[in-house]
């Protein structure tokens, strides 16, 4: 096995463990040492790949964004002119819902520190690029998608706690407030 492949595997294992730990415990509750130990590695190896813990979160978000963009490009290839803006919005929101743990962490970090806004904004901006061959997006289209993604992320971040506090299921909550919830 070549050394470059080993490096990629080590870095990926660190990222996978970080995502799992962040999702289980929350970003603040996870140390660099926790990530390294979970990956069967050392803290010095972790810091070889990532200067600080925040870089791990940023890398995870970039990887999620890249995955979304690939899906969007496949959708454009498959649908061509029959694609709709509404379906694009649904796909973007669906992607955020599928990856709610990492988006939740990113939005909390942004709200707490004021950093990370660029990575949150990159998903819709990259989505627009993937779809520009079939659509022209107005400023209003762009804002609508960005606001929808932020709203969905905040909803997903708080939903579990809200449902638990009021002893209600997510489905019941959505039925009660269909217009307000994404």
Ordered domains of the chain (ranges, CATH):
1-50 (1.10.10.60), 53-176 (no CATH)
The lowest-confidence range among 54-63, 64-73, 108-117, 162-171 is 108-117
User: What's the angle, vertex CA 98, arms to CA 97 and CA 100, rounded to 5?
Assistant: 55
Can you tell me whether residue 150 is helix, strand or coil?
helix
85-129: pLDDT as tens digits: 788 778 888 888 888 888 888 777 777 776 655 666 676 777 777
- Hunting for tokens 């993604």 — which residue is that? 149
* Most confident residue range from 39-48, 55-64, 129-138: 39-48
pLDDT at 10 over 60: yes
How would you class 171 by CB atoms within 10 Å of its CB: exposed for 0-12, middle for 13-18, buried for 19 or more? exposed
């Amino acid at each position: 096995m070549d050394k470059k492949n080993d490096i990629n595997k080590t870095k990926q294992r660190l990222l996978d463990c970080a995502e799992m730990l962040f999702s289980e415990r929350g970003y603040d509750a996870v140390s660099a040492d926790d990530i390294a130990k979970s990956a069967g590695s050392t803290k010095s190896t972790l810091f070889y790949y990532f200067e600080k813990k925040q870089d791990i979160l940023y890398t995870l978000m970039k990887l999620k964004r890249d995955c979304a963009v690939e899906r969007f490009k496949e959708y454009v290839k498959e649908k061509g002119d029959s694609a709709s803006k509404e379906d694009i919005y649904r796909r973007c929101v669906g992607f955020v819902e599928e990856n709610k743990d990492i988006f939740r962490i990113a939005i909390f970090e942004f709200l707490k520190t004021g950093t990370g806004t660029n990575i949150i904004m990159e998903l819709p901006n990259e989505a627009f690029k993937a779809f520009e061959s079939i659509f022209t997006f107005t400023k209003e289209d762009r804002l609508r998608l960005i606001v929808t993604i932020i709203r969905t992320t905040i909803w997903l971040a708080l939903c579990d706690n809200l449902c638990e506090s009021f002893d209600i299921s997510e489905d019941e909550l959505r039925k009660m407030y269909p217009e307000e919830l994404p």
